Amino acid sequence: MHRRAHRHRTPPGRRASGTLRERLALAAVVLLSLVVGAAPAVAQSVSDGAPVDVVGPPATVLSADTHGRGRLVEAFGDIRRARRIAVIVPGVGWTGPLLRDEQGAGRRHPAVQARSLLAEMQRSDPHTPAAVVVWLDYDPPAGIDTDAARSERAVDGAPRLASFVDRLPRSATISVVCHSYGSVVCAHAAPHLRIADLVVVGSPGMDVWTRSALRTKAEVWAGIAPDDPIGIVPHTRVEGFGHAADPTAPDFGARSLPVGGAHGHNGYLVSGTESLRAIAQIVTGHARAVR
């Protein structure tokens, strides 16, 4: 009698890991793709483009310290009176000193984006007091490098983001708008965020394979511009490298954010774009108007 050979089968829902050599090789490919392919996006976010003048309130510093390369949290509008608050979480390349320096700031500067979003929120709902916060109380990777391909900096910053949001006025409805690597921070904070909506744009991934794995009651929205170079980053996670699934993929489960008019990696909060208008409608409670 011949015994039937037992073949190991990968359990349903579990991804085959492959050999160590294969996993390390894939990790190297992920890192190379990040460094070579997405570097232009970082250059755009650090070199801010042509200066623009967006009318809006001056920044109010909520917190600042010298941890890492400098951390800073600024508010635009009166968060004590606001009934709708959007918290912007920037990504790679930003530091406290860069954020504070608005001289020659272009449309990609978070302070400019915050004023653009606030103005659009006020147009969307002129009768509801609103405010926007730029939250940079973490240490983003300096560039598209090993730190950007991994999640340690996001994991470190996530508890501070959750704590900050929890301290905002209970009378306000709060949403977070997460750009690029900032979406990784928001993903790790998601189970602990007291928010109505979580919006991610230009995301390399959120370290999960499905929206349900974020363990949040918030509505999750995701969008990416067709010419955003972050789109070429492989959506995988190997040996701690990569940030898992594309949150804009249909099987991820997030709601689709329209991005008409947005260009490149940093054009989502630019006046006149569908993405800015949609984000403003979402955070002011008019998500039904988003198509």
Asked if the structure places residue 14 within a domain, the reply is no
Stronger pLDDT, 17 or 109, i.e. the higher one? 109
Asked if the structure places residue 227 within a domain, the reply is yes
Asked if the structure places residue 12 within a domain, the reply is no
Assign 87 to helix, strand or coil: strand
Instruction: Quote the pTM value.
Output: 0.87
What is the residue range of 251's domain? 20-289
Q: Is 60 exceeded by the pLDDT of residue 29?
A: no
Asked if the structure places residue 83 within a domain, the reply is yes
Confidence band (pLDDT; 50, 70, 90) for 17? very low
Asked if the structure places residue 163 within a domain, the reply is yes
Helix (H) or strand (E) holding 2: none
CATH number at residue 193: 3.40.50.1820
Asked if the structure places residue 252 within a domain, the reply is yes
Mean pLDDT, rounded, of the chain? 87
d(CA 141, CA 143): 5
Residue 288 DSSP class? G
Q: What is the DSSP string of 184-233?
A: HHHHHHGGG---SEEEEES-S--SBSSGGGG--SSEEEEE--TT-GGGGS
Q: Is 80 exceeded by the pLDDT of residue 11?
A: no
Place of tokens 């709902």: 125
Q: How many domains does the chain contain in total?
A: 1
Other Cβ atoms within 10 Å of 103 Cβ, number: 5
Q: Is 60 exceeded by the pLDDT of residue 60?
A: yes
Asked if the structure places residue 7 within a domain, the reply is no
Tens digit of each residue's pLDDT (9 = 90 or more) over 239-262:
888 899 999 999 999 999 999 999
Q: Which of 29-33, 53-57, 84-88, 106-110 has the lowest mean pLDDT?
A: 29-33
Sheet containing strand 130-136, edge to edge, reads 60-65, 71-76, 130-136, 84-89, 173-179, 197-201, 219-223, 255-256
Q: Is 80 exceeded by the pLDDT of residue 197?
A: yes
Tens digit of each residue's pLDDT (9 = 90 or more) over 143-173:
777 888 899 999 999 999 999 999 999 999 9
Total count of residues recorded for the chain: 291
Pick from 166, 19, 184: nearest CA to 89: 184
Asked if the structure places residue 11 within a domain, the reply is no
Helix (H) or strand (E) holding 95: none
Other Cβ atoms within 10 Å of 163 Cβ, number: 12
Tens digit of each residue's pLDDT (9 = 90 or more) over 81-139:
999 999 999 999 899 999 999 988 888 899 999 999 999 999 999 999 999 999 999 99
